Each structure stands twice: as structure tokens, then as C-alpha cells.
Amino acid sequence: MKTLNLVGAQWGDEGKGKIADKLAEGLDYVVRFQGGHNAGHTIYLDGKKIVLHLVPSGILNPRCLSVISHGVAVSPEAFSQELDELHLSGVHVSPQNLRVSANCSVITRFHRLMDEAREQQSGEKIGTTGKGIGPCYEDKIARKGLRLSDLSSKGQLAKRLELNLREKLVLLEKLYRIPFPSIEEEVGHLFHYGERLQEFMGDTFSLLETAERKGQTILFEGAQGILLDIDYGSYPYVTSSSTSYSGVYSGAFVPKSGIDHVLGVAKAYLTRVGEGPFPSELFNQTGADLQRIGGEFGATTGRIRRCGVLDLPLLKFAKKVSRMDSLALTKIDVLSQVDELKVCHAYRYEGKTIDSAFPGIDLTKVTPEYISLAPLPKMIAQAENFVELLELKEMRDFIELIEKALNIPVGLLAYGPNREALHFRQKYFSK
Ligand code: IMP
């Protein structure tokens, strides 16, 4: 195995960061290919909490080269802040272990203002992270966005920004009526933070192409989750990038014979931040317990995550969308601490029973059908007897139910926040 795509199989926050960090041990490259600093990957290193937003999770492994490829939307200011935070946490970052594509789209302060204004004023709240992700990708598709390479000359920057802002200024002034910086101020701001980026910038496509030719190992680290994908997700309550497997191809690089393995990551239950339908959402004590015990707060915005029951029709759909080869099941320890265990195995939808979601399904109109299982054996995070617990019938029944429904193995289980609380049931790369 030379290439692996780690992909969120739900609505994000599945615990991908820790898995990426663990898999990255001994790898050559870890690549972010979509999204931006709306992501929040939390990793506990020697008891210290490190939250990565834009920087790939490979950064904690000294011999691994972390790459931010052209599909990522980069806020130069957020990038700079993240470098400062990593430095304060004792993580060494330099062009030797981090590269950024010069073709990444730039998130400006205007994008953030647009994002916030729409959320506050439009009456059609998506519940975004407010980081300017959507407006930035809109400009990219509209062919009037800025790229990181534009930041190296103030003249070029001013030219691109003027073009970019022609329509936006009217909206900010006349529709949303909010204060915004002048073009000159924004040029200065972007140029200032852009300078910090210069040494990291380059052609990451050729870097990856060469890596493939040399037979090096590459982990493509997805952010958010498949159900937030712009094309396959629960539209319009989605993010603005291709979070699924296909995003690797447009956002980073197309390996000659495809990607060797797609590893989906799913929580043993389900969470969602922001607005949008959530068929198996819990409004009872179990939901409140999962939220509290699981510490279900957004890593980027601190918002409370809505909690629900594992939804197999959605997970099956995610498997098909990203051609998942195996599944990592996370937060087993949290699920074990609640007294009630239910799984949604099918939906009643338009007079029929269906066991998989599909593009365009109206999730507000489905009636989930549940099966009840015996609760998992109680365990604490990092349980030392995890392997023994895994042999107990309740655990086996739960895992088998998922494997049978998806027809792929649960190759990995996570049972605590530390990078050591991972149990591998199959090999990834050579480990
Ligand atoms: P945006 O990506 O900020 O535009 O937000 C669009 C939707 O994606 C909202 O529902 C957000 O809560 C959700 N979202 C974006 N990033 C993440 C993430 O990293 N984890 C979970 N949800 C996210």
C-alpha cells in the first residue's frame, strides 16, 4: 500500500486527526486536499492538546512532509496564527516539513465578512463556521478568486482584489450594510501575512507526482465528512468543497492506478454541528450524555455538537460515495458509557423501507427504524483491557452489525483521545 485516503464518513468530527497522526508515523507525505481552517483536528500529544486547522496531521511526525495542496482554501492570517500556535506548543514547522501549493485559493477578510453577514442576515442559516470558506470557493468557481501566488507582488494583488471585489463591495455596502476594510488596507493585510507564507510555497503537484514515481507513501487526509460534501452531502447544509474521495483527484493529484485504500472514519454514534436534517438525532438523556461524556463541542467554533444514534443508511451511502475499503470506528469508550444502545438500520421513505441513503434523498422526510442492542461493556478512555473487552459478545455484535451492513471490515477502533488509544485489526501501509 502506497496511497491511502482517510475520509470522514459522517458530518465531520469523526476523530480523523488522531488516526492521520498515527498512520503518518513512518510515512513520506500527508496531504490536505480540500477545505480550509474550518477543520479542527484535535490530537493529544504527551497529554498536550494540539488543534490543527489547516496544517496536515503529519506535522507531528518529524520525518513526514506535510503538504497543503491546491484544493485547499487558505487564509494567510489563519495560517500564520496556526504556525505561531504550533511553535508555542513546541512543534517545529519549516519548509522542510511543510509545503503549500502556490495555487491554493486565498480567503480574504471580505470572504469572512460575507460569510458572517449571510449567516446573520439572510434568514437561511447554514450554520457555517464563519471562516469565509463558502464565499472563497464561490470566487474560485466564478474565476475571480485570488491565489497564493498573487500575494508575492502588491501590484498583482491590488489588481486581482479590485476585480474580485467589484460586486462584493456593493453587497456589503448596500445589502448587508456592514463596515469593511478598504482595498488598500486589504492589500497591505494580505501582503503582510503572505510574506510569512512565501518560504513554504511551491508546486505541490509535481512534488506528489515525483513522490509517486519514487514509490513513496502518501496519506491524503480528508477534512469534514462525506455528508458535508458539496455534491454528495445533505445539500444545502454542506461545506463548499469535495470532502469525499473524489476531492483528492481535483484537489491534489491523480495517482496512476487510483488510491490503494480508502479508510472511512465514523464515530460509534453520530454528531453534527450547524443546521440541517439529522434523522437519528437524540433529544433525550442519552443524547445529552453522549454530548457531555464525548466532549462534543466543535474544535473550531466551540459550538455544541448535536448527538444521535449511528445511522447505517447514511454510512452505507458514504461507503459507496467514497468507495471505502475499511472503516475506523471511533469513540467506542464514549458509547460504552451510556445505558441505551440503538442503531438506525433503515428508513421508511415514500412508502418503502430502504437501507441506504442516496443523492437527493429528503432527510427531513425519512422515518428512521432502529434496532436495540445490549449496551457495550463499560470502559474508560484508554482502557488497558480493551483487547479483552473486544472479545465480549456485546462488542462483537455491535461491530458485526456494522460490518455486515457495509460489507467492509472495521479495521481500526479508537477508544480514547490519546494517539495510543487505537486498536488496529488490519494493516495499513506496512504497519
Ligand atoms: P463552512 O464549511 O464553514 O462553510 O460550514 C458549512 C457546514 O459545514 C456547517 O454545517 C459547518 O458546521 C460544517 N463544518 C465545516 N467544517 C466542519 C468540521 O471540521 N467539522 C464539522 N462540521 C464542519
pLDDT digits (tens, 9 = 90+) for 232-253: 999 999 999 999 999 999 999 9
Task: Using the predicted structure, report yes or no on whether residue 156 has a pLDDT greater than 90.
Answer: yes
Q: What string of DSSP letters covers 39-71? A: --EEEEETTEEEEESSS-GGGGSTTPEEEE-TT
- Of the pLDDT bands very low, low, confident and very high (cuts 50, 70, 90), residue 182 is very high
332, three cell numbers? 467506542
Q: How many whole angstroms separate alpha carbon 396 and alpha carbon 390?
A: 7
- Mind giving me the DSSP string for 177-246? ------HHHHHHHHHHHHHHHGGGEE-HHHHHHHHHHTT--EEEE--S-GGG-TTTSSTTSS-SS--STH
Residue 431 has pLDDT above 70, yes or no: no
pLDDT digit string (tens) for 134-151? 999 999 999 999 999 999
> How far from 27 is each of 34, 46, 65, 93, CA to CA, in Å?
20, 21, 8, 17
* Range 34-50 average pLDDT: 88
Among 51, 124, 122, 34, CA closest to 299: 51
E-strand stretches of 40-184: 41-45, 48-52, 65-68, 73-74, 98-101, 105-106
pLDDT digits (tens, 9 = 90+) for 357-376: 999 999 999 999 999 999 99
pLDDT score of 382: 85
Please tell me if the CB atom of residue 239 comes closer than 6 angstroms to any atom of ligand 1.
Answer: yes
Mean pLDDT, residues 173-179: 96
Cβ atoms 336, 379 nearer than 8 A: yes
Mutate to test the pocket of ligand 1, among 116, 129, 238 (most ligand atoms within 8 A of CB): 129
Is 56 touching ligand 1 by the criterion CB < 6 Å?
Answer: no
- Average pLDDT for the chain: 95
User: Which of 37, 41, 261, 345 is the catalytic position?
Assistant: 41
Q: What separation in Å is there between the alpha carbon of 268 and the centre of ligand 1?
A: 20
Average pLDDT, stretch 302-319?
Answer: 96
